[in-house]
A and B are shown apart, each in its own frame.
Chain A
Amino acid sequence: MFAKEDRLAKWHIGIAMAALFIGGSLGPLQKLEHVGINLYPALSNIGLKSYYQGLTIHAVLNALVWTTFFITGFFTFALPRSLNRPLKYPRLNAAGLILMVVGLVVAAVPILLNLATVLYTFYPPLKAHAAFYIGLTLVVIGSWVCGYGFYFTYGDWRKAHPGERTPLIAFGALITMVLWQIATLGVAAELLWLVIPWSLGLVETIDPQLSRTFFWFFGHPLVYFWLLPAYVSWYFMVPKQAGGKLFSDHLARLVFWMFLVLSTPVGFHHQFVDPGVDAKWKAFHAILTYSVFLPSMITAFTVIASLEIGARNRGGKGLLGWVRALPWDDPSYTAQNLAMILFAFGGISGLTNASFNMNMTVHNTSWVPGHFHLTVGSAVTLTFFGISYWLVPKLAGKPLWNRKVALAQAWTWFVGMLLMSNALHILGLNFGVPRRTMLGVAPYASPDWDPFLIESAIGGIILGISGLLFYVNMLGTVFSKATLSEPIEMPVAEPLDPTPAPVWLDSWRPWLALAVVLILIAYGPVLYEMITNIQLTSPGFRVW
């Protein structure tokens, strides 16, 4: 029934994993450079010209390609099964995939040729080759097309099931894709209106402030585009793997709607230091950023309560003793639970980022990569590893090659990330160590940094080893000659209370309207002012 979907999902996830392999391999090199071991010259004969080119490859492939391709692949697999119907237009989804792949290749060529060493935020006036921006645009458009394929499929399901509540996995996937559609309007405006014409030489100059504002319209909800698929798994799949049930269907739905509404109009907390944005709008965005804490805490409660149900079903006792009864021998479960723990720390450093005066202290320091390696590098990536431990065997029709190696992978990622992110946070907060910087040759480097740079490097090396364990297991699974003794089913958690959610928790219009109104209030006046007073003053710079 789902052969076409599975074929598409295999391509999405295969490309995602290939991207992460290349991007992830460059991570430990940065950490080693920071402690004075510069391996980049040795890699120049394979085309790696500099630390900053490596950093661009690392960030673009990990943060943009690995995530986007994995998410679209995961949903291509999970959404049709959740709705119990195949994709309505599989060729549309295939077209989306092809667009994404073409875009990836078009963007990758200038990066690999050192023509687009602008890091993943590609802030103007840094100017890359036009192909880099055009390629990224095609990747985004391709992901939109995949989303349209999901919407058409859902539309058919809705016609056939009037009055029924949307199945939870499909519900979460659809909100994620709609959030993505809204968020990417910002980067689409930046690229299509400002950056691509400028990079093609059609206009001489650009407005860096407006470009950054469009970027962060996209950049923060991008984080929720990464996170919500992990939430789909934590809410609607992991409780089943833990032997339990979803504690509250209603709270889960409310949380996904809240993220749709609140994730976009918060971008100015990334621009607290930007002089061109009035303080009152920064304050408004800061308040909205703090409001995201509410669905985050509801998530913590609902997911942990779901796990507690599972653990007690498995014989767990005591106020906290039940934790030991969770299925720690299951690598898929363990990876995701460890991802949740790391995310709890990421949430705390996120609260610091949102606090204006604290942000002034940690902005552009290594605190920031310390934070986002706990979110996208742990909550998201380690969860995707956990999903892969059942999804790849399912797609390959083979058992997981080695469960013990998978468990070792999850724990080494956890330990490596704790070490690395702890060191990065301390370096940023206590010493103001800059991010995005080749610290090994920085003349202002202090000996006081050394213990933490070493800790960070040890963490990075452990993460590199952990990544290798993951790929050994994935390749071992795909190329194994073993066959499944019993079929693998997608884990689907039933709600503890089967009472259908109220209609308002399954209605798109009010939530979409609220999201649009809040975006118009939070961004409308500022964008109007910036656009009517556009400052096309800056030429492009190539500093590498």
Chain B
Amino acid sequence: MDNKDKYKTPQGTIAILVIYILLIIALWGSAYLTMISRGVTQ
């Protein structure tokens, strides 16, 4: 891949989105664990 193609591929964007997906998993998982620990599903 030459420099021109690297420029066109938004690699930084993909990196940010990977971080965001991990953040979603972490925060959603944290909320889920909190819910379980409260023992409340009514």
Q: Could you tell me which A residues sit within 8 Å of B by CB distance?
A: 247, 297, 300-301, 304-305, 308-309, 312, 318-320, 322-323, 344-345, 347-348, 351-352, 355, 357-358, 360-361, 429-430, 432
Contact = CB atoms under 8 A, between A and B. Distances in A.
Interface of B: 7, 10-13, 15-17, 20, 23-24, 27-28, 31-32, 34-35, 38, 40-42
A304 B15 CA distance: 11
Contact of A319 (B12, B20, B24, B31): B12
Contacts of A361: 35, 38, 40-42
Given A300-B17, A300-B20, A360-B42, A430 B10 contact: no
A322 B12 contact: yes
Nearest to B14: A301
Contact of A358 (B15, B16, B24, B35): B35
A455 to B, nearest CB: 17
Secondary structure call for the A interface: helix
B10 A247 contact: yes
Contacts of B31: 352, 358, 429
A344 B35 CA distance: 22
Which 3 pairs show the lowest CB-CB distances between chains A and B? A305-B10, A305-B13, A304-B13
A344 B34 contact: no
Given A357-B41, A361-B35, A361-B40, A351 B28 contact: yes
A312 B27 CA distance: 31
Most interface-central of B7, B11, B12, B24 (chain A CB within 10 A): B12
19 contacts: A300-B17, A300-B20, A301-B13, A304-B10, A304-B13, A304-B16, A304-B17, A308-B13, A319-B11, A320-B16, A323-B12, A348-B23, A351-B24, A352-B28, A357-B35, A357-B41, A360-B40, A360-B42, A430-B38
B34 A430 contact: yes
Contacts of B41: 357, 360-361
A308 B12 contact: yes
Contacts of A320: 12, 15-16
Contacts of A360: 40-42
Contacts of A312: 7
A247 B9 CA distance: 10
Contacts of B35: 357-358, 361, 429
A344 B20 contact: yes
Contacts of B7: 312
Nearest to B15: A319
Nearest to A273: B42
Contacts of B20: 300, 344
Give the dominant DSSP class at B's interface: helix
A348 B31 CA distance: 10
Contacts of B27: 345, 348
Contacts of A247: 10
Contacts of B12: 304, 308, 318-320, 322-323
Contact of A301 (B17, B24, B32): B17
A499 to B, nearest CB: 15
A318 B41 CA distance: 46
A74 to B, nearest CB: 27
Contacts of B17: 297, 300-301, 304
Contacts of B28: 348, 351-352, 355
Contacts of A301: 10, 13, 17
A113 B20 CA distance: 47
A496 B30 CA distance: 39
A509 to B, nearest CB: 33
A345 B24 CA distance: 8
Given A320-B15, A357-B41, A358-B32, 8 more contacts: A304-B10, A304-B17, A319-B11, A319-B15, A320-B16, A348-B27, A361-B38, A430-B38
Nearest to B7: A312
Contacts of A305: 10, 13
B23 to A, nearest CB: 7
Contacts of A297: 17
A308 B10 contact: yes
B24 A309 contact: no
B10 A348 contact: no
Contacts of A304: 10, 12-13, 16-17
A352 B23 CA distance: 13
A361 B40 CA distance: 7
Contacts of B11: 319
Given A309-B10, A348-B27, A352-B28, A432 B34 contact: no
Contacts of A351: 24, 28
Nearest to B23: A348
B20 to A, nearest CB: 6
Contacts of A308: 10, 12-13
Nearest to B31: A352
A348 B21 CA distance: 10
User: Which of A305, A309, A312, A360 is most buried by chain B, counting CB atoms within 10 A of its CB?
Assistant: A305
